[in-house]
């Protein structure tokens, strides 16, 4: 498993922006009515991010020797969870920003403005998920020679 890089996360987010903007534009031209982003997006992003941070903190303590009862497989699963949260957050940020951009020309229309604001709040929730996943993944890294060569370690 390779470490997260901001270049990859940015690329994923930009692809999501372009795709979401394109889909929004096509749907709008077809006469579809845009929907607001449901509030459950915020709850799920915050809960998943908090869980990833909590598990990442446990792995960090394990790597420092403060929590010897955590097994290596649990640490590896936490690293995978953290990366999934980071990539999922990047996709959500991009998708919701693309959705908002696709509707931005209709800002003066109050119902569309509500949809744009909800999309921007969804992007903010995705950014929280992205950040918490990246921090948790960083906590799961094992120091030493592996990190100097840019190779992942066993933790």
Whether residue 99 lies inside any domain: the answer is yes
Whether residue 15 lies inside any domain: the answer is no
Whether residue 16 lies inside any domain: the answer is no
Could you give the number of structural domains in the chain?
1
Alpha-carbon distance of 69 to 63, in angstroms, equals: 11
Mean pLDDT of 126-146: 86
Res 154 pLDDT > 80: no
For the ranges 43-52, 67-76, 100-109, 142-151, the lowest mean pLDDT is seen at 142-151
Res 153 pLDDT > 60: no
Domain holding 117, by residue range, is 41-149
Write the DSSP string, 76-142: HHHHHHHHHHHHHHHHHHHHHHHHHHHHGGGTTSHHHHHHHHHHHHHHHHHHHHHHHHHHHHHHT--
Whether residue 24 lies inside any domain: the answer is no
Whether residue 11 lies inside any domain: the answer is no
Whether residue 8 lies inside any domain: the answer is no
Whether residue 2 lies inside any domain: the answer is no
Mean pLDDT of 8-30: 95
- pLDDT, tens digit, for every residue of 40-70? 999 999 999 999 999 999 999 998 888 788 8
Res 131 pLDDT > 60: yes
Whether residue 66 lies inside any domain: the answer is yes
This prediction has a pTM of 0.86
């Amino acid at each position: 498993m390779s470490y997260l890089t901001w270049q990859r996360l940015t690329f994923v987010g930009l692809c999501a922006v372009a795709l979401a903007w394109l889909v929004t534009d096509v749907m709008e031209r077809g006469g579809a009515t845009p929907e607001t982003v449901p509030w459950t997006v915020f709850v799920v992003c915050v809960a998943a991010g908090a869980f990833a941070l909590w598990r990442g903190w446990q792995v960090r303590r394990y790597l420092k020797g403060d929590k010897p009862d955590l097994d290596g497989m649990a640490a590896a699963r936490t690293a995978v969870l953290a990366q999934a949260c980071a990539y999922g957050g990047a996709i959500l940020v991009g998708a919701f920003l693309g959705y908002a951009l696709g509707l931005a020309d209709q800002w003066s229309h109050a119902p569309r403005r509500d949809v744009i604001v909800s999309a921007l709040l969804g992007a903010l929730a995705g950014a929280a998920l992205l950040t918490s996943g990246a921090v948790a993944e960083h906590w799961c890294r094992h120091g030493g020679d592996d990190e100097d060569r840019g190779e992942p370690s066993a933790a």
